[in-house]
Amino acid sequence: MALSKLKGIKISGIASALPVNKEDNLNLSNLGLAQKEALIKHTGIRFRHVVKQKERSVKVLFKTAMDKLLETLDWDKSSIDVLLIVTQTALSPIPSLACQLHGEMDFPPTALAYDINSGCSGFVYGLHTAGQLLASLDQEGKRAILCCGDISSSLTEENDMGVKPIFSDGVSAIGLENSQNSECFFNLETFGKGQKAISLEKSETGNWMRMDGIDVFNYAIKYVPNNIKTLLERYAKESRTPEMYVFHQANLLINKSIMKAVGAEESKVPNSLYEYGNTASASIPLTFSLNWQNKKRGWVLFSGFGVGFSVASALVKIDGIKIAQPEFIHI
Amino acid sequence: MRETRELSELDFLNFTSKEFQVEHSVLSSQTEYRNLPNWSSLHALLFISAINDAYGVLISSNELSKSKTLGDLFDMIQNPN
């Protein structure tokens, strides 16, 4: 797959939803103050949004984000043609979360709906899939909603200090539609031999996400800058120079290393780690939506990487986007 | 060659002394780095990151687990996979 380009689709809007409840890494009971301060300094993460009721479904967050997106774009539910849900924390795999949400949101029968099992690279993978589906539809004016995100805290073991201080709960809903003259460029890669870097461990106490921080760092530094450089060298002619580089919010150490390796100016690389932590596949649209003004036009480089080990970058022209402020709900 | 290696090893011990904020005099190639006062899983990551910045060598989790001493790490930097 690797390099690919899509014509005729654009990102029209973004809305995000997070639990109102926040946890503070300074309050972690397993670490001393000096360790906590070092953790915050080097990961960049102070606060994490965490659901209070672990049994609550990520579906509630997706519904909130989609309602806000439809309101922001003034889209009627009947106008939706594609619904994609990128998540790894659906409460039950059957039926798909996309079908559940299709029913509960009252979308029309003509809308196709399915899930994509993907984590930190999921926004870019979802964008590529949704874009392809829209481009394949045999009419103008078609619309897609791409939802990305997880309740990662449902997979976080209380005492795992390699995972708990990093991950945060949250989702984003992204509206896409046909638009003549728009182009998007992608570089999608998989390094499956790195599958053990982030995995799910089944134990008597539950299913817990495990992460080998050093291997994640190694894979990110080894593969992500090359992925981005290959994409930019091929497609970022002068007129397509990125105005912003939005990386998956892994942690500050990784993200700064990628920024340096790619040669991106710090002022063009926003992060939302301090307030929002690592929100898996929602981290790119969330960070972008917190840092981009509605009327601004320009090319943006998105790069997602993580569980898999999966790496996906996209170079996208943003023009006429409507961004909603994040919704915070009691959940 | 011998001299270059000694110089480089000294360099690496200086680097380690700075990264861990420990006196250079207590460090040698035989030092078991996991016993250094600031060692933790986070510091392991910071160390790997600093080695990558300074020497352009990535040490994997598996390689790290096989190493005990600063000399072992130095050998990895000298002979990367």
Give the pLDDT confidence of A254-284 residue by residue, as tens digits.
Answer: 999 999 999 999 999 999 999 999 999 999 9
- Taking an 8 Å cut-off on Cβ atoms, the answer to whether B49 and A257 are in contact is yes
Closest CA in chain B for residue A220 = B58
Q: Which residue in the block uniquely carries the two structure tokens 């050093």? A: A214
Q: Are A104 and A97 in contact (CB under 8 A)?
A: no
- Taking an 8 Å cut-off on Cβ atoms, the answer to whether A257 and B53 are in contact is yes
| Chains A–B, number of C-beta pairs less than 8 Å apart | 41
Chain B closest CA to A163's CA: distance in Å? 11
Handedness of CA A133, A135, A136, A141 (dihedral sign): positive
Give the pLDDT confidence of A2-40 residue by residue, as tens digits.
Answer: 899 998 899 999 999 999 999 999 999 988 898 899 899
Nearest to A39 among B42, B44, B52 (CB): B42
Instruction: Record the tokens describing residue A318, joined without a space.
Output: 């943003």
- Taking an 8 Å cut-off on Cβ atoms, the answer to whether B61 and A162 are in contact is no
What is the number of H-type helices and E-type strands within chain B? 4, 0
Give the pLDDT confidence of B12-64 residue by residue, as tens digits.
Answer: 888 888 888 888 888 999 999 988 876 777 888 888 998 898 888 999 988 99
Confidence of residue A219 (pLDDT cuts 50, 70, 90): very high
Give the pLDDT confidence of B53-71 residue by residue, as tens digits.
Answer: 888 899 998 899 999 999 9
**Of the candidates A69, A103, A101, A77, which has an alpha carbon nearest to the alpha carbon of residue A285?**
A69
For range A240-260, the mean pLDDT:
96
Nearest to A217 among B40, B43, B48 (CB): B48
What pTM value is reported for the model? 0.93
Confidence of residue A1 (pLDDT cuts 50, 70, 90): low
- Taking an 8 Å cut-off on Cβ atoms, the answer to whether B48 and A218 are in contact is yes
- Taking an 8 Å cut-off on Cβ atoms, the answer to whether B46 and A218 are in contact is no
Mean pLDDT of all residues in chain A? 94
Q: What percent of chain A has pLDDT over 90?
A: 85
A165 preceded by cis ω (within 30°)? no
Nearest to A218 among B43, B44, B60 (CB): B60
Helices (H), A236-279: 252-262, 273-276
